[in-house]
Amino acid sequence: MEDHDLIQFAYAVGLVAVAAEWLAYHFHCGVKFRRWSAIAALLWALQYLCLGALSAALNMALTAVRTLLSGLIDRSVVKNLAALLFCLLFAGLTAVSWQGWSSLLPAFAVINTTLAQFYLGNKAMRMTLLLSSLAWVSNDWIWQAWPALVAESVAILINLRSIAKMAAD
């Protein structure tokens, strides 16, 4: 596949990921939110891989697993160990796939999200995810991952709307 075709494929995958991501933020149910976020994360990983953003691709693939597991682990000892393990894995993936300072953006985003998903309730988690979204927007700008940038920007707005609705309930 030529570079131009690979980029076009990446953007097509990104458009499908946009739909999954936006759908996730519309769910008030934490389980459905996590399920659709994980699907979107796998699609984003494929897009980043096609664009050559290895740190973002690896971190996003592991994000899918983390997102699903974070909602299933209740016992505090197991939760603490899982959160620590995921943070160490994300740091390790960032180190082995280092592509310069831009690699810190996805690393911050996934570690911040890990802590939010393991330790915060649904509303507080979503508020914390706003910081991760800003890091992803910056990463997407650097790697010209335009579908991801648009999706994350709109996800910020959808997330803000969902937070406001939860506050009103």
Best CA proximity match to 111, nearest among 140, 87, 139: 87
pLDDT per residue as tens digits for the range 46-100: 999 999 999 889 989 999 998 888 878 877 888 899 999 999 999 999 999 999 9
Give phi and psi for 28, each to the nearest 5: -80, -25
Residues 6 or more apart in contact with residue 125 via CB below 8 angstroms: 30, 116, 117
Domain residue ranges in the chain: 3-168
Rounded (5°) CA angle 39-43-44: 115
Lowest mean pLDDT across 6-20, 36-50, 59-73: 59-73
pTM of the model: 0.81
Give whole-number Cα distances, 96 to 2, 49, 64, 136, in Å.
Answer: 26, 15, 19, 19
pLDDT at position 1 is 65
